[in-house]
């Protein structure tokens, strides 16, 4: 039986797998599935700066390297993410800056297309994928995708991201978009920290 294509669906769910509050969790950091719940991929946290998005078969799809400014005020500095494939070839990037970094991520796809993943205000649970900045004052940009976040387990604070993509995104752009949702989660919920999401 062949694996479902990770980047064929126009909607996927990226979320923290359920776990027990009373036992040490040793599973993947995040899981990617179809809206119906069919597993597609998992994200493994290697060392809090390197993450691997791999299909359920184990095939590496994207390696994510997190780079941030080192220093006493690290939380105020920019954060950069580098995306590489299984052969260590660069296939995209994402970056965020500012005090509330989860307001906007700048994305670069493998072909070099520049995209923005933006939420309009800090209280919003929806991010929109566009080519131009929605806050620039010009005409409203075309929405190429959406990410809606919800808390699926208030007791532990597990997060789920519903990702919708338009047909205008090709497979490589969808790959960058899904990887950027992983980055969004890492910015909102740093590994090993129990702080409230940003």
**Model pTM?**
0.90
Q: Does a structural domain hold residue 156?
A: yes
Radius of gyration of the chain (CA): 16
Indicate the number of domains in the chain.
1
- pLDDT computed for residue 161 by the predictor: 97
Per-residue confidence (pLDDT) for residue 70, from 0 to 100: 66
| Residue 186 per-residue DSSP state | H
Residue 180 lies in a domain: yes
Q: What is the CATH number of the domain that holds 48?
A: 2.40.160
The answer to the question of residue 10 being in a domain is no
Assess if residue 29 is contained within a domain: yes
Residue 52 lies in a domain: yes
Q: Coil, helix or strand for 15?
A: strand
pLDDT of residue 194: 45
pLDDT of the residue at 162:
97
For residue 196, is it within any domain? no
Q: Is residue 7 part of a domain?
A: no
- Give Dmax over CA atoms of the chain in angstroms: 51
For residues 176 and 107, is the Cβ–Cβ distance under 8 A?
yes
Instruction: List, for the chain, all residue ranges whose pLDDT scores fall below the cut of 50.
Output: 1, 193-196
Alpha-carbon distances, residue 100 vs 69, 77, 190 (angstroms): 15, 10, 13
Q: Domain of 143? A: 17-188
pLDDT at residue number 33: 95
Beta strands in 24-78 (DSSP E): 30-34, 39-45, 50-55, 60-68
């Amino acid at each position: 039986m062949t694996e479902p294509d990770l980047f064929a669906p126009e909607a996927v769910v990226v979320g923290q797998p359920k776990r027990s509050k009373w036992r040490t969790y040793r599973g993947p950091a995040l899981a990617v599935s179809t809206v119906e719940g069919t597993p597609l991929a998992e994200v493994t946290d290697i060392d809090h700066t390197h993450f691997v998005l791999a299909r359920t078969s184990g095939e590496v799809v994207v390696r994510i390297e997190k780079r941030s400014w080192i220093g006493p005020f690290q939380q105020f500095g920019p954060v950069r993410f580098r995306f590489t494939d299984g052969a260590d070839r660069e296939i995209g990037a994402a970056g965020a800056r500012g005090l509330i970094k989860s307001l906007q991520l700048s994305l670069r796809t493998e072909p070099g297309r520049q995209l923005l993943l933006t939420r309009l205000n800090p209280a919003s649970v929806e991010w929109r994928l566009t080519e131009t900045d929605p806050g620039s004052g010009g005409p409203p940009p075309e929405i190429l995708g959406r990410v809606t976040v919800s808390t699926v387990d208030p007791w532990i604070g597990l997060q789920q991201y519903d990702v919708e993509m338009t047909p205008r995104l090709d497979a490589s752009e969808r790959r960058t978009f899904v990887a950027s949702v992983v980055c969004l989660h890492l910015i909102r919920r740093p590994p090993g920290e129990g702080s409230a999401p940003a």
